[in-house]
Structure 1
Amino acid sequence: MNKEKFEFNINVKTILGYLGLKAIKTFVSFVLGFLFISIIFSVIFKAGMLQAFFGKDDVKQKQTVAQKAYDANLKEINQQEQEVEDTINARKSEQETLNASDTAVSASVIYVIDGDTIIIKLDDGSEEKVRFIGVDCPEDTTKKEYFGDKATAYTKHRLLGKTIKMEYDIDHTDKYGRTLAYVFIDGELFNKTLVSKGYAETMEIEPNTKYSFDLSFECSKAKSRKIGMWEK
């Protein structure tokens, strides 16, 4: 009897011990599993955060690269524009030098026919009738037009007896045999002065249009301000 009881007690303890050990193992396995899953999720979460972080850096990097490319292109465009402008200025300077040295001719004004036509004497003693390019003063010869006498008087006052410089355009003479020229007095383009003071209007005849823009601009200003022949 005691033996059976003893054996029963041993079996109970064995069973309980086994069940307890299994419970502990199950609990431990559960805890370890939970920790493992937590670690996995933590790693995934951190990896996602890192990816998002690096993704932002990648976007910033791409934006920086794009900005640098834009700045480089803009700089190149500005350089090209500057080169073009420098080339234009250089050619303009060359042309002005050419005009001054090769085509500009000194002469003395010996007679004024009207506001836009004079007679000059060259250094070799020859005389030429000169018609100003790009301008047209009111008639003051066989035909008398409004303000023609004032235009003639102004040209006489400014040019008669003076030394001038003449600059040519494409055509050197017109169909009447007159020399076509831009007249300079002390560096001042007299053709331009005539239109700016209202003594003449513009008259553009191809291909002699070197100063046509400046002349038209000055004429427009004189008209809008009602200067000279435009006063009425």
Structure 2
Amino acid sequence: MKKVVIFFCCLLLLGCQAKKDTFQAGTVPIKVVRVVSGQTLQVMGFREQPNLISEVRLTGISAPPTRQRPWGEASKKRLTELIQDKSSPVRLEFDVEAKDKFGRTLAYVWKNETLVNEQLVKEGHAIFVARSPNHKYDSRLEQAQHWSRLMGEGIWNPEDPMRLSPSEFRRVYR
């Protein structure tokens, strides 16, 4: 009886351990053709039309547009750096809503074990913006934003803070 209990406890413990590659479940590998901005990629090899170039908008974040200097260029540059390593594929993970109002695919972007959306927020290159109904990683993105604000990273730098949010900038400077 004692051996059976120990066996079931071991099974229970093994079953509760997080798998190293759990983020890859339900993701799709793609080829990045171009980084458009700190929140938008052009990709190829996606869905039913592998030779068609599609735009992908990173879910849950808002990065400064490239015209919002110096933060927009810095955001675009950092996104490029995060995904440029050719040794491993960029993978997309989807949430409830697949497209935005502009027809762009909405996705969480993974490179190795890094959630790129989260990394951009943590480093102060983008802000967290909850967008219903896509809330899969809201708590991670929100925590990353708290961290970057506390540490004064990027757009939160107290010596050179970004004065307008990306959406305010787009509204004012169309």
Match of 2:95 among 153, 157, 169: 169
TM alignment of 1:61-140, pairs within 5 A = 100-101=24-25, 103-122=26-45, 124-140=50-66
In structure 2, distance between residues paired with 1:127 and 1:169: 21
In structure 1, distance between residues paired with 2:154 and 2:61: 15
2:41 partner amino acid: I
TM alignment of 1:1-232, pairs within 5 A = 100-101=24-25, 103-122=26-45, 124-140=50-66, 143-160=67-84, 162=86, 163-232=89-158
In structure 1, distance between residues paired with 2:24 and 2:122: 23
* TM-score normalised by structure 2 residue count: 0.72
In structure 2, distance between residues paired with 1:225 and 1:155: 20
In structure 1, distance between residues paired with 2:98 and 2:111: 19
- Structure 1's consecutive aligned runs of 4 or more residues displaced over 4 angstroms after TM superposition are none
The DSSP-based 3-state class of the residue aligned with 1:114 is coil
The answer on whether the counterparts of 1:107 and 1:165 sit within 8 Å (CA) in structure 2 is yes
2:157 partner amino acid: E
| Residues 174-216 of structure 1: per-residue CA shift (max 9 Å, x gap) | 1100000000001210000000101011011111000000100
In structure 1, distance between residues paired with 2:62 and 2:70: 13
**Rg bigger for which structure?**
1
In structure 1, distance between residues paired with 2:57 and 2:69: 18
Give, in angstroms, the shift of residue 125 of structure 1.
2.4
2:29 partner amino acid: S
Which residue number corresponds to residue 6 of structure 2?
Answer: none
The answer on whether the counterparts of 1:121 and 1:127 sit within 8 Å (CA) in structure 2 is yes
In structure 2, distance between residues paired with 1:187 and 1:126: 27
| Residues 66-98 of structure 1: per-residue CA shift (max 9 Å, x gap) | xxxxxxxxxxxxxxxxxxxx8xx87xx7xx96x
In structure 1, distance between residues paired with 2:99 and 2:113: 23
The answer on whether the counterparts of 1:110 and 1:161 sit within 8 Å (CA) in structure 2 is no
Alignment coverage as a number of residue pairs: 139
* TM-score normalised by structure 1 residue count: 0.55
1:105 partner amino acid: V
User: 1:111–1:134: structure 2 CA closer, same or farther, 3 Å change rule?
Assistant: same
| Residues 14-57 of structure 1: per-residue CA shift (max 9 Å, x gap) | xxxxxxxxxxxxxxxxxxxxxxxxxxxxxxxxxxxxxxxxxxxx
User: 1:159–1:224: structure 2 CA closer, same or farther, 3 Å change rule?
Assistant: same
Percent identity over the alignment? 26
